[in-house]
Structure 1
Amino acid sequence: MTKIRHLMPAGEAIFKDRYTTKAKDLLKPWRHGKHEEFGLVGLPLSKSSISHSGASFAPGAIRSAMQSYTNYSGETEAELSKPILDFGDLYMDPTDIIGNQQRLQEGLTDIYATGAAKNWIMLGGDHSVSYAAIKAFSETYKSVGIIQFDAHHDLRNTEDGGPTNGTPFRRLLEDKIIQGENLVQIGIRDFTNAKAYHNYAKENGVVVYTMADVHHSGVREILRQEVERLKQQVDVIYISLDMDVLDQAFAPGCPAIGPGGMDSYTLLDGIFLAATYHEVMAMDIVEIDPTIDVRNMTSRVAANAILQFMKGKI
């Protein structure tokens, strides 16, 4: 039998530094009975987006972008060594949007019930997936507070289009899954929302910080104040990260890009700080369309957000 020299399995013929561990290597397939600090699942739904979106491809793109990083934080001189149990992606029917949102809730309810992880990371998908993710989370962990990084309120009515990526927090409020005072929105951008939804937020006690507030007070001060307040009122805190909170210069792969948003360092620093609180136990990352991204810039920010979340738990 002829031996072929220098041949390696597909995808493994790459340069490897013996002293370097890539962040992607932390991803380990989940098996029954496994328990770790972190669990991850993909929620590849984007057909409920009110604008064109290929966000269903984002879970894979974000996982791949983790190859761009090592597991070592030079800032804290700490290594991320704990595996991330990767549950894979939940199945999405090609046409059944309402059914898909039900599948997300059912699948996540089962995943959370495994108790396989203490901290959860969900990769969307458009922002409609947050309704199912948070509803399932609340069934497992009871009262939930939410830190929402977003340019938009996502409090649109459901009569004009059903449950879309613009409605998740309206639905959570109307279904009494969360209370308004336990929803904190950070990074709401000028000329990006309707007056009716601004008023709806105020009327329902939602705590809103605009980008002007972020520039004036700083994201760290806002987060310290709000997490301290929330942890007196709820059992756990969930971060919902809509990547369009970032300025278009930092997130070209978002369907709803625009100027005047947050820079990537501010966002990543905020994710790290929030994660240092043990009450913060979950994060979803939504609204990345890899088909329009530039050199995977947006997916790389998302992958870094995962590492900052993990770093905060050391």
Structure 2
Amino acid sequence: MSIYKLANTDNWFGRSSDQQLYLHEKVKLLNLQEYEYQKEYKTYALLGYSSDEGVRRNLGRTGSALGPDAIREQLGKMPNHLNENTQLIDFGNLECKDQNLEELQEECTIAVSKLIKNRATPILLGGSHDLAYAHYNGLLQHIKPKEKIGIINFDAHFDLRANIDGNNSGTPFYQIALEHEAKNEAIKYMALGIRKDANTRTLFDFAESQKVNYLLQDHFSMSYLEHVQLRLIQFMEDVDYIYTTIDLDGLSSAYAPGVSAASPMGFAPDIVLESLKLIIDSGKLVGLDIVELNPNFDIDKQTAKLAASLVHYVIHNL
């Protein structure tokens, strides 16, 4: 089985106040296995997917197992603007044992399902992008048969690689697509920031065969904001719920050097924030994760700060 580790107080620190002015003063550290729904609170649930096994299998730069704690350390220093009836809970990390990624994904699915059952909004911190398969399936367990959940992936990569040799960070949406296909359903998947220099022709062909809705990086910028907004609105109108996943390696290395697969050719944070605003305003967002932070290659903790800022934006606007 995977290893579940309780949240660590050492990851939450910063300036002190007597009014909970900072998130490290607001956050609660709880055991997921003991958690039960608290109707008086709106709850954001942080859960770390502390594994880079999927990246290792995908021949990437390992180190993203350290990502969840690095995000926490930056998030805790940030100002707290949450209402008193809103709680931020850190439920700790799930870790991969004996390189058994598949068991980790199963445990993560169970954890997400428990959070949804207890009406908490999951915010998962990665960790390699194979967590998307687990996160999605945890959400899916609470979707009614005729309802549809759409995936919005901010990423340079489709992550539609075949899992012939096992699951990895490049296979989550392939796995999801095949499972929907087996039920005579179509995957509802939108990928924003796709790069031709990061995906083979075979991946583009498979994306087309699955009717994946995607925007190339060339058109995923503030210069094309109206077009991006239109495409997002059209996609979201066709689904009942939205699961959003942000792969930090989709951003330019000018903003996110500390990732598993860095490139200067990625997109900028401003278009991500504008897109998130639209997703949040739809009222359909039910789960979010931020993946592929690799502190081993970060510069002045820049990427960790970016990831924390994205979490900060979501919890204060959702």
Contact 2:15 2:77 in 1 (8 A): no
Counterpart-to-counterpart distance in 2, 1:52 and 1:63: 21
**For residues 18-97 of structure 1, what are the structure 2 equivalents within 5 Å?**
21-30=21-30, 31-34=35-38, 35-49=41-55, 50=58, 51-72=60-81, 82-97=86-101
Give the alignment partner of residue 312 of structure 1, picking from 297, 305, 317: 317
Q: Which runs of 5+ in 1 are unaligned?
A: 1-8, 73-78
**For residues 206-221 of structure 1, what are the structure 2 equivalents within 5 Å?**
206-215=212-221, 218-219=224-225, 221=227
TM-score, with length taken from structure 2? 0.84
Considering fraction of residues, name the structure with more helix.
2
**For residues 23-172 of structure 1, what are the structure 2 equivalents within 5 Å?**
23-30=23-30, 31-34=35-38, 35-49=41-55, 50=58, 51-72=60-81, 82-115=86-119, 117=120, 119-142=121-144, 143-159=148-164, 161-172=165-176
Give the secondary-structure state (helix, strand or coil) at the position aligned to 1:176. helix
CA RMSD of aligned residues (A): 2.6
The corresponding residue for 2:4 is none
Counterpart-to-counterpart distance in 2, 1:233 and 1:208: 15
Counterpart-to-counterpart distance in 2, 1:52 and 1:254: 8
The corresponding residue for 1:5 is none
Contact 2:64 2:293 in 1 (8 A): yes
Q: Which runs of 5+ in 2 are unaligned?
A: 1-8
Deviations 1:170-206 (A, max 9, x none): 1000011896562110001231110000111011100
Counterpart-to-counterpart distance in 1, 2:13 and 2:307: 26
TM-score, with length taken from structure 1? 0.85
Counterpart-to-counterpart distance in 1, 2:29 and 2:282: 27
Give the secondary-structure state (helix, strand or coil) at the position aligned to 1:48. helix
Give the secondary-structure state (helix, strand or coil) at the position aligned to 1:237. strand
Contact 2:13 2:77 in 1 (8 A): no
Q: Measured at CA, do residues 127 and 12 of structure 1 come closer, stay the same or move farther in structure 2, by a change above 3 Å?
A: closer
The corresponding residue for 2:204 is 198
| Distance apart, 1:48 and its partner CA | 1.6
Letter in 1 for 2:268: D
Q: Measured at CA, do residues 13 and 167 of structure 1 come closer, stay the same or move farther in structure 2, by a change above 3 Å?
A: closer
Percent identity (aligned): 24
Contact 1:141 1:235 in 2 (8 A): no
The corresponding residue for 2:6 is none
Letter in 2 for 1:248: S
Deviations 1:221-267 (A, max 9, x none): 424542x3344432210101101110011111111001221112222
| Distance apart, 1:124 and its partner CA | 1.5
Contact 2:193 2:267 in 1 (8 A): yes
Counterpart-to-counterpart distance in 2, 1:311 and 1:13: 20
1:236 aligns with 2:244: no
For the pair shown, the structure with the greater C-alpha radius of gyration is 1
Counterpart-to-counterpart distance in 2, 1:271 and 1:195: 29
